[in-house]
């Protein structure tokens, strides 16, 4: 879309949830609109404020805006990185797109693999931004914009930082006199108001908005809040598997109970082994960049689209914001216990090397244990242990040594984790929340949600992943330590969640892929996976190599 005189042109992916409020302010300043779209708001807001416009936007977005007067291109991405944006600069031409494969399709970009992207995938199960699996393509980092003009591509500018949001909230809390701090009785109402605000904003749509509904607090609370803002005829969908029936991982019974509690039009969609095997080639094609996750979102998005939905809400982000992961318990405990011994020079590395040399590390339940003393004494190292799939010292068995050496040198895994936590919040909770939001959620969960949903023409919105909500929630401080995990979220709806949902042990969204592959001796899956072992189990090392080979092909 272009403005009236054609001096500004924008291409845009996403949704601006506060576009109506922004439009009104711009109209009052004299700007004339020709449409009702949020895209046109971007054009006039840029004309009014320039690059600082991004600070006014509430939504999920990636856009490129050409400024004819300045002869410059402006690329911007939302604070959390809900929408992807990739670009390539060969010194003569700038190319940008929402997918890596879109850039490759032009045929003018080098396909030389990037060791940092390969190593990052093996360490974490996804390619960490700003890297991709190709040297010539970079991801614009979340919460950043970049200007490209006659002088070339400038350094990306960060306009939003999750770590900074926590630090500023902690600073305000320290400066606020005790008599002026929010009373416990008022805290829950403030929390509820913040959650209602973000749900209300994310329901702005010209089409019906449904919801993914699991057996957890996050999605159940969102559906309750949708009712509280007077959303009528809510359609909800849950994915289930016959292999999990009657087991703790089966989400269908409790999801159905939550649906009855809030009176939704609910569907439980069964996914079979045959459907999984039939869809697997399509999943790998849609994946764009390699990931170990996203299968669950693929099928629930497919089910939502079958119901006729074009937009659905997801509870993604609740664990990161309200401390639902085991990492909020484990990482601070490891750091507390290992802080002192880990500071003894080379002791941890020497112990790991000894265990490796004597092959004693193979007798350990996990290779990570050998690195506990070396890494576990600080938050960055402990997070690497908690979230890493492979440890850096295991990679020589997966990739050639030169690739590993170059990849680790460029990636600097521990330094990269530390950078995500800079400026560094003071509390353990804020440190872990920052890391989980800035790394795991951003590089894996949000990216997987985007490709897996968009492959079915479904727009997934994540009300709990919102910069304004973050500021309001962190300003209220943590709930009491003896509170039920995610109690703030669970207590927010007027009609309480079923107690079975509130007190359910966390299992995650389980897809029985291992069962399906093993049941077929790996034979049916092998054409797609090509990583089966003779005993029918999936060989993770062979699979990793295959994924990276395909990605670089």
pLDDT digits (tens, 9 = 90+) for 75-110: 999 999 999 999 999 989 999 999 999 999 999 999
What gap in Å lies between CA 196 and CA 320, rounded to an integer?
18
- The label of the residue with tokens 């995650």 reads 508
Cβ atoms < 10 Å from Cβ of 41: 26
Averaged pLDDT, 431-459: 97
Nearest to 81 by CA among 493, 518, 439: 439
What gap in Å lies between CA 379 and CA 367, rounded to an integer?
19
Higher-pLDDT residue of 262 and 367 is 262
Residues β-bridged to residue 313? 211, 461
Cβ atoms < 10 Å from Cβ of 380: 21
Name the residue ranges covered by the structural domains of the chain.
Answer: 8-158, 167-324+431-509, 327-425, 512-553
134: which residues sit within 8 A by CB, 6+ positions away?
100, 104, 109, 110, 111, 112, 113, 114, 117, 552
Averaged pLDDT, 456-474: 97
Distinct helix (H) and strand (E) counts, the chain = 25, 14
Q: Give the percent of the chain with pLDDT over 70.
A: 90
pLDDT in the model for residue 532? 41
Confidence of residue 486 (pLDDT cuts 50, 70, 90): confident
> 138-139 and 94-97: which strand pairing?
unpaired
Averaged pLDDT, 275-298: 92
pLDDT per residue over 200-212, tens digit each? 999 999 899 999 9
Residue 230 has pLDDT above 50, yes or no: yes
Instruction: Give the lowest-confidence range in 218-232, 262-276, 342-356, 461-475.
Output: 342-356
Higher-pLDDT residue of 436 and 372 is 436
What gap in Å lies between CA 143 and CA 55, rounded to an integer?
10
Q: Give the percent of the chain with pLDDT over 90.
A: 71
Instruction: Give the lowest-confidence range in 353-367, 369-383, 518-532.
Output: 518-532
pLDDT in the model for residue 543? 53
Both tokens of residue 144? 């950043």
Kindly state the DSSP code that residue 491 receives in the 8-state scheme.
T
pLDDT in the model for residue 328? 95
What gap in Å lies between CA 366 and CA 3, rounded to an integer?
58
Residue 522 has pLDDT above 90, yes or no: no
- Termini Cα distance of the chain: 35
Confidence of residue 166 (pLDDT cuts 50, 70, 90): very high
Say what the alpha-carbon torsion angle 324, 340, 422, 437 is, to the nearest 10 degrees: -20
Both tokens of residue 211? 């919801």
pLDDT in the model for residue 107? 92
Averaged pLDDT, 393-414: 93
Nearest to 211 by CA among 195, 227, 235, 232: 235
What's the gap between Cα 460 and its chain centre? 12
Q: Compute the mean pLDDT over every residue in the chain, rounded to the nearest whole number.
A: 89
Residue 521 has pLDDT above 60, yes or no: no
Strands (E), 279-398: 311-313
Confidence of residue 327 (pLDDT cuts 50, 70, 90): very high
> 144-149 and 209-212: which strand pairing?
unpaired
Kindly state the DSSP code that residue 370 receives in the 8-state scheme.
G
pLDDT in the model for residue 538? 44
Both tokens of residue 408? 């680790």
Please give the model's pTM, rounded to 2 decimal places: 0.91
What gap in Å lies between CA 91 and CA 41, rounded to an integer?
32
pLDDT in the model for residue 197? 97
pLDDT in the model for residue 537? 41
pLDDT in the model for residue 354? 78
Confidence of residue 447 (pLDDT cuts 50, 70, 90): very high
Q: Which CATH superfamily is domain 8-158 in?
A: Aminohydrolase, N-terminal nucleophile (Ntn) domain (3.60.20.10)
Averaged pLDDT, 293-321: 96
Both tokens of residue 281? 């080639």
Q: Is 454 helix (H, G, I), strand (E, B) or coil?
A: helix
The matching CATH number, chosen from 1.10.3480.10, 3.40.50.620, 3.30.930.10, 2.40.50.1020, for 167-324+431-509 is 3.40.50.620
Both tokens of residue 150? 């006659």
Averaged pLDDT, 291-312: 95
Please provide the size of the chain in residues: 553
pLDDT in the model for residue 519? 66
Higher-pLDDT residue of 391 and 506 is 391
What gap in Å lies between CA 423 and CA 168, rounded to an integer?
10
Say what the alpha-carbon torsion angle 472, 474, 480, 482 is, to the nearest 10 degrees: 110
Say what the alpha-carbon torsion angle 23, 24, 26, 31 is, to the nearest 10 degrees: 90
Residue 89, Cβ density class (10 Å: 0-12 exposed, 13-18 middle, ≥19 buried): middle
Nearest to 420 by CA among 80, 183, 147: 80
Averaged pLDDT, 328-342: 93
What gap in Å lies between CA 325 and CA 207, rounded to an integer?
34
Residue 526 has pLDDT above 70, yes or no: no
Half-sphere exposure of 439 (CA within 13 A, CB side): 28
Confidence of residue 482 (pLDDT cuts 50, 70, 90): low
pLDDT in the model for residue 458? 97
What gap in Å lies between CA 462 and CA 111, rounded to an integer?
33
Instruction: Give the lowest-confidence range in 17-31, 166-180, 347-361, 532-546.
Output: 532-546
Cβ atoms < 10 Å from Cβ of 531: 20
Residue 529 has pLDDT above 60, yes or no: no
Q: For residues 300 and 352, is the Cβ–Cβ distance under 8 A?
A: no
Q: Kindly list the distances between the CA atom of residue 360 and the CA atoms of 171, 366, 393, in Å, as whole numbers in the listed order.
A: 47, 11, 15
Most confident option among 285-294, 505-514, 531-540:
285-294
């Amino acid at each position: 879309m272009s403005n009236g005189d054609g001096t500004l042109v924008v291409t845009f992916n996403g949704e601006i949830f506060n576009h109506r409020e922004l439009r009104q302010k711009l109209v009052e300043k004299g700007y004339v609109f020709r449409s009702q779209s949020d895209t046109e708001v971007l054009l006039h807001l840029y004309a009014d404020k320039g690059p600082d416009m991004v600070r006014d936007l509430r939504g999920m977005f990636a856009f490129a805006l050409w400024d004819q007067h300045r002869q410059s291109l402006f690329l911007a991405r939302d604070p959390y990185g809900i929408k992807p944006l990739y670009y390539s600069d060969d010194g003569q031409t700038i190319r940008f797109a929402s997918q890596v494969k879109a850039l490759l399709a032009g045929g003018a970009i080098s396909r030389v693999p990037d060791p940092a992207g390969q190593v990052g995938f093996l360490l974490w199960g996804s390619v960490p931004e700003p890297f991709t699996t190709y040297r010539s393509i970079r991801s614009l980092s979340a919460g950043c914009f970049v200007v490209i003009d006659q002088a070339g591509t400038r350094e990306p500018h960060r306009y939003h930082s999750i770590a900074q949001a926590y630090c500023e909230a902690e600073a305000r809390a320290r400066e606020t006199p005790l008599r002026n701090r929010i009373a416990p009785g008022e805290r829950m109402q403030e929390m509820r108001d913040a959650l209602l605000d973000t749900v209300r904003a994310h329901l702005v749509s010209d089409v019906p908005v449904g919801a993914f509904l699991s057996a957890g607090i996050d999605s159940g609370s969102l559906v309750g809040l949708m009712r509280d803002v007077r959303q009528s005829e809510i359609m909800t969908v849950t994915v289930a598997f016959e292999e999990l029936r009657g087991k703790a991982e089966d989400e269908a019974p409790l999801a159905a109970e939550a649906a009855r509690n809030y009176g939704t039009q609910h569907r439980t969609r069964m996914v079979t082994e045959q459907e999984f095997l039939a869809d697997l080639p399509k999943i790998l094609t849609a994946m764009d960049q390699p990931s170990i996750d996203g299968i669950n979102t693929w099928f629930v998005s497919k089910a939502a689209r079958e119901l006729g939905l074009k937009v659905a809400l997801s509870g993604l982000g609740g664990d990161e914001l309200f401390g639902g992961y085991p990492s909020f318990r484990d990482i601070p405990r490891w750091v507390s216990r290992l802080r002192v011994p880990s500071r003894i020079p080379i002791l941890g590395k020497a112990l790991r090397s000894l265990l490796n040399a004597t092959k004693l590390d193979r007798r350990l339940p996990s290779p990570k244990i050998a690195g506990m003393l070396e890494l576990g004494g600080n938050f960055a190292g402990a997070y690497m242990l908690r979230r890493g799939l492979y440890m850096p010292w295991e990679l020589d068995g997966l990739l050639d040594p030169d690739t590993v050496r170059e990849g680790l040198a460029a990636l600097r895994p521990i330094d990269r984790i530390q950078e995500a936590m800079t400026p560094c919040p003071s509390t353990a909770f804020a440190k872990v929340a920052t890391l989980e939001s800035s790394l795991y959620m951003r590089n894996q969960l949000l990216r997987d949600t985007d490709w897996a949903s968009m492959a079915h023409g479904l727009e997934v919105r994540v009300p709990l992943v919102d910069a304004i909500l973050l500021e309001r929630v962190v300003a209220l401080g943590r709930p009491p330590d003896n509170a039920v995990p995610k109690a703030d979220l669970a207590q927010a709806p007027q009609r309480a969640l079923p107690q079975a949902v509130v007190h359910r042990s966390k299992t995650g969204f389980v897809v029985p892929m291992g069962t399906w592959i093993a049941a077929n001796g790996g034979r049916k899956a092998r054409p797609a996976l090509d990583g089966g072992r003779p005993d029918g189990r999936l060989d993770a090392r062979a699979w990793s190599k295959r994924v990276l080979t395909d990605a670089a092909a």
